Amino acid sequence: MCGIFGCILKNSNVAPIIHSSLKRLEYRGYDSVGIATLHNGTIHIKKDQGKIDEVHRIHNLDEMEGNVGVGHTRWATHGAPLKVNAHPHVDCTGQIAVVHNGIIENYSELKEELENAGHIFVSRTDTEVIPHLIEEVLKENSSASLTDAVLAALKRLCGSYAIAVISAKEPEKIVCARNESPLVLGLADNAIYCASDLTAFLPMTNKAIIVNDGELAVLSGSNYEIKRISDGITVVRQPKIIDWTPEMAVKQGYPHFMLKEIHEQPETLRNTLRLQEHYLDLMATFLDRANEVFLVACGTSYHACLAASYMFSKLAFLATYPVYASEFVEQHGKSVNIDSTILAVSQSGETADTLAAVTASQQRAATILGLTNVIGSTLSRVSRVYIGQQSGPEIGVAATKTFTSQLSILAQLAFRLSKKRGKISQDEMDCLAEKMEQLPQIVEAVILMQEEKVKALAHKYKDAKIFFFLGRGVNTATAYEGRLKLMEIAYVPAIAFPAGESKHGPISLIEPGFPVIFICPKDGVTHKTLIGNMMEMKARGASIISIIEEDDEEVKKLSDDYIEVPKGIPEVLSPIPFVVPLQLFAYYMALEKGLNPDMPRNLAKSVTVK
Ligand code: M6R
């Protein structure tokens, strides 16, 4: 997730406006920043790695001439957060500049094709193919307008994008376009803007137009024209008056970042399906060769590791050991050696306990692999191979979208390894791959269909003093995660166990009305045994709340309340949609108690002390 911005002003330089607007978009990403303006028929660029204030201190972003320009604040996906990878990116002639938010899936093929045609690339980004593609179209057809060239270039792209393009040859224009990444236009008397979201221009104007997927907009003077990318036909759309406060705009109208981030999961899951294959392959190769594999993390990331241990075992027949990072050195510090592989998982890439486990393992010559949301973080730097999970910044203290992304990537790794090892049939692989592709829609459906029900559930159980979360198999991890969410933001004590363990002790707590939440997907052998556990609880008067598949009539009958998830999800993938109602439940329980879910007491987003 990055922030893009473009602006045409009637009478003054755009750079200070771009700078202040990018500051408002900084929550979308902040590892590097850049601005391009058009002045005297030339494109001028200032860009560098670092947060906007740091870059401004060095380069004075306000001191650039020109009344047309674009800007970008970056959250690295392809290419490290370095100056050379910062946007805007230009073509070979420096006459076309592009800012981009999204992921171009087929950039390697396009880059190869363009390099063969003589184009020189300087960055490691996917974005750089765009200005070169536009340049190529203009080279082949010198009479084509910038708009035509952008339209033609867009037709070659697979993936997601919101882009803004300027050209020295048509210096009064910005051409912007969108597919699966947000883009809005802002209209004012003496200016026109395009941006990733309203926040960017809200202090200047509240008159906005949403650009839809598959559309391009041409801005010139204070006019705009929207066209369909597929056929270039003009689309008529009137502006709307937006009555959001700037604070509401940063949260895109959601009352809290946590809710916004829960709702972003269809998009962040889509991003995980666009990962560069060779990183997944490389990591799968390391795992394949490893003698012993430890999955090391804290908190929610640990729960992703726990789920992953089931995925690796079931799909790739690889035994892995999920370990709390804070316990790792005590538990395994002496036995780790050159044949050990540590897959460290950390959203921030800066969690002190996780890094301590990594450092201790490195000192004993173990191989370090990393999965993190922050490219450029310590974890990404110390890992032999790392994968960036591409979830964009997560601001709510409670991890939500980054958890489902971690699960999706770990499941993809398990698939790869399975393929390499020939452990499951082609049919099973195909079915899993198909379901994996459907996960963004499935999660979308869960949010759309069940949010109100979950809200009502939170209202019903708002005074409960304690909850049980029970799951089996891979959903033991989901149970742990549901408990953690509820405890950390709603301050409700909760207990989670693999359901089979409950009768070895915890069941003694049960008395009439005790709420027990079961995570109960239908696929796999755990369904039957979980029903047994439900009966045991019910017989002792527990209130059964179950998260089930749509048509699971048997469990519906046993439940006092249930939340439904679309059917047909393979068990190994089920934590991804099944955790979503639990995230919502914790969120609405916090609201019921008058708490701010974004800022739970005593916690920090990134725990950098041991
Ligand atoms: O950045 P990390 O993934 O390493 O963070 C690990 C935990 O601190 C984190 O998951 C924490 O438990 C969250 N508050 C969970 O919502």
CATH number at 509 reads 3.40.50.10490
Instruction: Tell me the per-residue pLDDT of 368-406, one tens digit each, with 9 for 90 and over.
Output: 999 999 887 899 989 999 999 989 888 899 999 999 999
Instruction: Clarify whether residues 289 and 204 are in a common domain.
Output: no
Instruction: Clarify whether residues 309 and 361 are in a common domain.
Output: yes
Beta bridge partners of 468: 495, 516
- DSSP secondary structure letters along 210-262: EPPTTEEEEEETTEEEEEETTT--EE----EE----HHHHHTTT-SSHHHHHH
Q: What's the CATH number where 140 sits?
A: 3.60.20.10
Last-in-domain residue among 215, 249, 283: 249
* Residue 300 CB–ligand 1 contact under 6 Å: yes
Instruction: Clarify whether residues 232 and 355 are in a common domain.
Output: no
Instruction: Clarify whether residues 460 and 410 are in a common domain.
Output: no
Residues 6+ apart with CB under 8 A from 442: 565, 566, 569, 576, 577
pTM of the model: 0.83
Beta sheet of 173-179, edge-to-edge order: 89-90, 96-104, 159-167, 173-179, 215-220, 223-228, 234-235
> Which member of 2, 176, 194, 520 is catalytic?
2
Q: Determine the distance separating the centroid of ligand 1 and the alpha carbon of 323, expressed in angstroms.
A: 14
Q: Is 242's pLDDT higher than 90?
A: no
Q: How confident is the model at residue 161, as a pLDDT?
A: 95
* Residue 346 CB–ligand 1 contact under 6 Å: yes
Q: Determine the distance separating the centroid of ligand 1 and the alpha carbon of 117, expressed in angstroms.
A: 46
Mean pLDDT of 421-441: 92
Q: Residue 268 and residue 569: Cα distance in Å, rounded?
A: 19
Tokens 């690339």 found at = 121
* Residue 192 CB–ligand 1 contact under 6 Å: no
Band of pLDDT at residue 98, cut at 50, 70 and 90: very high
Q: Is 609's pLDDT higher than 80?
A: no
Residue 431 lies in a domain: no
Q: Is 252's pLDDT higher than 90?
A: no
* Residue 298 CB–ligand 1 contact under 6 Å: yes
Instruction: Clarify whether residues 180 and 123 are in a common domain.
Output: yes
Instruction: Clarify whether residues 481 and 345 are in a common domain.
Output: no
Q: Is 247's pLDDT higher than 80?
A: no
Q: How many residues appear in the chain?
A: 610
Tokens 């009478």 found at = 11
Rounded to the nearest angstrom, the gap between the alpha carbon of residue 237 and the centroid of all alpha carbons in its chain is: 30
Q: Residue with the nearest Cα to atom 12 of ligand 1? A: 299
Instruction: Clarify whether residues 350 and 231 are in a common domain.
Output: no
Residue 19 lies in a domain: yes
Residue 486 lies in a domain: yes
* Residue 275 CB–ligand 1 contact under 6 Å: no
Residue 433 lies in a domain: no
Instruction: Tell me the per-residue pLDDT of 404-422, one tens digit each, with 9 for 90 and over.
Output: 999 999 999 999 999 999 9
Mean pLDDT of 244-269: 88
Instruction: Clarify whether residues 403 and 479 are in a common domain.
Output: no
Instruction: Tell me the per-residue pLDDT of 308-358, one tens digit each, with 9 for 90 and over.
Output: 999 999 999 999 999 999 999 999 999 999 999 999 999 999 999 999 999
Last-in-domain residue among 228, 249, 270: 249
Which phi and psi angles does 474 have, rounded to 5°?
-60, -25
Residue 73 lies in a domain: yes
Instruction: Tell me the per-residue pLDDT of 147-204, one tens digit each, with 9 for 90 and over.
Output: 999 999 999 999 999 999 999 999 999 999 999 888 999 999 999 999 998 889 989 9
Residue 381 lies in a domain: yes
Q: Is 245's pLDDT higher than 90?
A: no
Instruction: Tell me the per-residue pLDDT of 9-32, one tens digit each, with 9 for 90 and over.
Output: 998 999 999 999 999 998 888 889
Q: Is 524's pLDDT higher than 80?
A: no
Band of pLDDT at residue 244, cut at 50, 70 and 90: confident
Instruction: Clarify whether residues 397 and 290 are in a common domain.
Output: yes
Residue 604 lies in a domain: no
Instruction: Clarify whether residues 355 and 327 are in a common domain.
Output: yes
Q: Are residues 75 and 1 in contact, defined by beta-carbon separation less than 8 angstroms?
A: yes
Three state DSSP letters for 435-460: HHHHHHHHHHHHHHHHHHHHHHHHHH
| 42-49 and 32-39 beta bridge pairing | antiparallel
Number of structural domains the chain divides into: 3
* 574 or 426: which leads in pLDDT: 574
Q: Residue 385 and residue 279: Cα distance in Å, rounded?
A: 8
User: 380: domain range?
Assistant: 251-424
Q: Residue 26 and residue 349: Cα distance in Å, rounded?
A: 19
The atom of ligand 1 lying closest to the CA of 400 is 16
Q: How confident is the model at residue 347, as a pLDDT?
A: 94
Last-in-domain residue among 182, 216, 249: 249
Instruction: Clarify whether residues 272 and 191 are in a common domain.
Output: no
Q: For 412, which DSSP code?
A: H
88 upstream amide cis, omega within 30 of 0 = yes
Residue 2 a catalytic site member: yes
Cα angle 148, 152, 157 (rounded to 5 degrees) comes to 140
> pLDDT > 90: what percent of the chain?
84
* Residue 606 CB–ligand 1 contact under 6 Å: yes
Instruction: Clarify whether residues 515 and 572 are in a common domain.
Output: yes
Q: Residue with the nearest Cα to atom 8 of ligand 1? A: 299
Mean pLDDT of 473-477: 97
